[in-house]
Amino acid sequence: MLLGSTASSLGCDKAEKASSDDDDGSSKKRKKKRKKSKRRAFDPGAKVTLRLRLAAADKKDFACAGSELPKGVSCALPSADVDSPTPEPGADTLQPFTALDGRRFLIAGVWSQPVVNEIVSKNDARFVTSCAVTMLDEAKGVKVRSFPSAPWVDAKETWIARVDGCTVADKDKPKPKPLPAPHANLDGSRVFIPLASYSPRQGPKNAAVSIVVYTDYQ
């Protein structure tokens, strides 16, 4: 009886171990599958449309540093250790962008798009553009920064892409800045303005002028 009981116990232990091994194997397979799926967010050559929020200042501020990149594109600097001014981005220069959905990308050619270039040459306000891009590869060993004095950080979970074309909808274009409220109705007003000349006896001189047209040069 004792031998039978022991054999039965050993059989149960083996069955439980086999079940545990199966569970561990299935768990590892699921984790590996999830990890693989996350790593391959895109396939090289995939065509994707991204919505980006831009401003003229971003052209000079955004930069990346790295050398292990797909053929035909490059970062502004080959290494984050290079102590030199960031050059003007060209059509093949990669820069870091965050899409409106929160995903991060290194993209070349944004500022070379006619519609984008036209807006930033006349306006410094932010606007939204929709850009069709081709995915090239996932970034490896690349560092990015959002302005010249910012520290370099690793570009994690970031894909490299090249712009095929951008459009800006009328609703997404920057709005003209309204006149400041205190000056909104100055046309035709008569005011005194100080002149540059100054006399110790007479004090500062003023001139009475009539405003014909008010223009905000800011």
Is pLDDT of 12 > 80?
A: no
What tokens does 176 get?
A: 């003209």
Confidence of residue 217 (pLDDT cuts 50, 70, 90): very low
Is 143 found in the same domain as 191? no
Q: Is the pLDDT of residue 214 over 80?
A: no
If asked whether residues 200 and 99 sit together in one domain, one would say no
- Are 144 and 200 members of one domain? no
Buried-exposed string 24-50: b where 16+ CB fall within 10 A, e elsewhere: eeeeeeeeeeeeeeeeeebeeeeebeb
Provide the pLDDT confidence category of residue 174 given band limits of 50, 70 and 90. Answer: confident
Per-residue pLDDT tens over the stretch 64-88: 999 999 999 999 999 998 877 788 8
Mean pLDDT of the region 185-213:
53
pLDDT for 88-140, tens place per residue? 899 999 999 999 999 999 999 999 999 999 999 998 899 999 999 999 999 99
**Do residues 53 and 106 share a domain?**
yes
Task: Select the highest-mean-pLDDT range: 10-24, 78-92, 156-170, 175-189.
Answer: 156-170
Q: Are residues 56 and 93 in the same domain?
A: yes
Residue 61 structural domain: 47-172
- Together in a domain, 59 and 134: yes
The per-residue pLDDT for range 193-205, each reduced to its tens digit, is 555 544 555 555 5
Who wins on pLDDT, 212 or 102?
102
Task: Reduce the secondary structure of the chain to three states and give it as a string.
Answer: CHHHHHHHHHHHHHHHHHHHHHHHHHHHHHHHHHHHHHHCCCCCCCEEEEEEEECCCHHHHCEEECCCCCCCCECCECCCCCCCCCCCCCCCEEEEEEECCCCEEEEECCCCCHHHHHHHCCCCCCEEEEEEEEEEEECCCCEEECCCCCCCEECCCCEEEEEEEEECCHHHCCCCCCCCHHHCCCCCCEEEEEEEEEECCCEEEEEEEECCCCCCCC
Are both 142 and 75 inside the same structural domain? Answer: yes
Number of domains in the chain: 2
User: Is the full-model pTM beyond 0.75?
Assistant: no
Q: Do residues 97 and 166 share a domain?
A: yes
What pLDDT, in 10s, does the model give residues 147-173?
Answer: 888 999 999 999 999 999 999 999 888
Q: In this structure, are 157 and 196 located in the same domain?
A: no
When pLDDT is averaged across residues 34-44 and rounded to a whole number, the result is 65
Residue 1 inside a domain? The answer is: no
Is the pLDDT score of 216 beyond 50?
Answer: no
- Look at residue 201 and tell me if it is in a domain: yes
Do 187 and 168 lie in one domain? The reply is: no
CA–CA dist 71, 57 (Å, integer)? 27
Q: How confident is the model at residue 1 (pLDDT cuts 50, 70, 90)?
A: very low
- Does 117 fall in a domain? yes
Same domain flag for 130 and 202: no
Structural domain contains residue 20 = no
SS3 for 185?
Answer: coil
Give strand pairing partners of 137.
160
Query: What are the φ/ψ torsions at residue 161 (nearest 5 degrees)?
Result: -145, 160
User: What sign has the CA pseudo-torsion 168, 166, 98, 75?
Assistant: negative
Asked whether residue 163 is domain-assigned, the answer is: yes
Q: Which residue has the higher pLDDT, 183 or 73?
A: 73
Say if residue 136 is in the same domain as residue 110. yes
How, if at all, do strands 143-145 and 63-65 pair?
A: antiparallel
Asked whether residue 19 is assigned to any structural domain, the reply reads no
- Distance (Å, whole) CA 190 – CA 216: 18
